[in-house]
Structure 1
């Protein structure tokens, strides 16, 4: 079965699929609100990307293009922000998260994220480093000479 990262269509089927990702009591981990805000039937330019296993959405992320107004990244004026990367429990440890991050890296822009609890080792394995010594945000920069802290 060929697995691909694909842009998720903004429709009511996607909302139903997202409900299986919602963790009760942690409203911020659900992308339902963002989906409702920007819903246009089958909008092909949504910031949502996912991986289907058969007909089931197994992993998803929200990927935004941002301007670096604070000059956090000396090598680029724009960066991507990975927001709410999640893999359903039945599909964890099978490379789905890796596929999503590699897809984001294929844009050849720096990538920033704020990792969830207990995901630090995943991001470290993906060569993300802290934005600064005091920041909880992590960055991957394709233009960085090494993987040291950016600032």
Structure 2
């Protein structure tokens, strides 16, 4: 299999048009269209959006945000981590390694990663090495986060109060 190249997506009107293809597949809860429209700056190269192209078509995407330790509500001791949001692969390209390539790209930063999986996607995240986050009730934000820890980085388990 060819190596899939993950690219930082430019925040511009071309990317906005490409994002509309994803929304058409009924995944409005995953749509980054609103995020993109709110942050549009012509050809912003520091966007939080990453994707994989097949030819000239964007077929997989995610947003990846670095959260600084002072805002950490999931790890003990608090630490910088990545928040992986809205990973989506167009239906015709699923099962071909695009989602794994995006997750591996995020893992290459060697920081803990937190994600909130979509319904029916837990098997994918478990296969990628993610586990249910352990955190106390005070930290529960109505999410069911999964986390991944880089090799050699250990999280102290949080206990329910």
Same fold (TM over 0.5): yes
Contact 2:4–2:101 at 8 Å: present in 1 too?
no
What does the per-residue CA deviation read over 1:72-108, in whole Å, with 9 as the maximum and x for residues that have no partner?
2126511100100000000000000000000000001
Q: Give the Cα–Cα distance (whole angstroms) in 1 for the partners of residues 93 and 131 of structure 2.
A: 26
RMSD: 2.1
Is 113-122 or 15-24 further displaced after alignment? 15-24
Match of 1:90 in 2: 92
Name the CA shift for 1:70/1:81 in 2 (closer, same or farther; >3 Å): closer
Match of 1:117 in 2: 119
Is 94-103 or 1-10 further displaced after alignment? 1-10
Moved over 6 A (4+): none
Name the CA shift for 1:24/1:93 in 2 (closer, same or farther; >3 Å): closer
Q: So what's the TM-score if we normalise by structure 2?
A: 0.83
By how many angstroms is 1:132 displaced? 1.8
Q: So what's the TM-score if we normalise by structure 1?
A: 0.89
Listed as ranges, the matches of 1:129-148 within 5 Å are 129-132=131-134, 136-142=144-150, 143-144=153-154
Match of 1:103 in 2: 105
Match of 1:58 in 2: 59
Listed as ranges, the matches of 1:40-59 within 5 Å are 40-59=41-60
Q: 1:127 aligns with which of 115, 126, 129?
A: 129
Equivalent residue pairs, number: 148
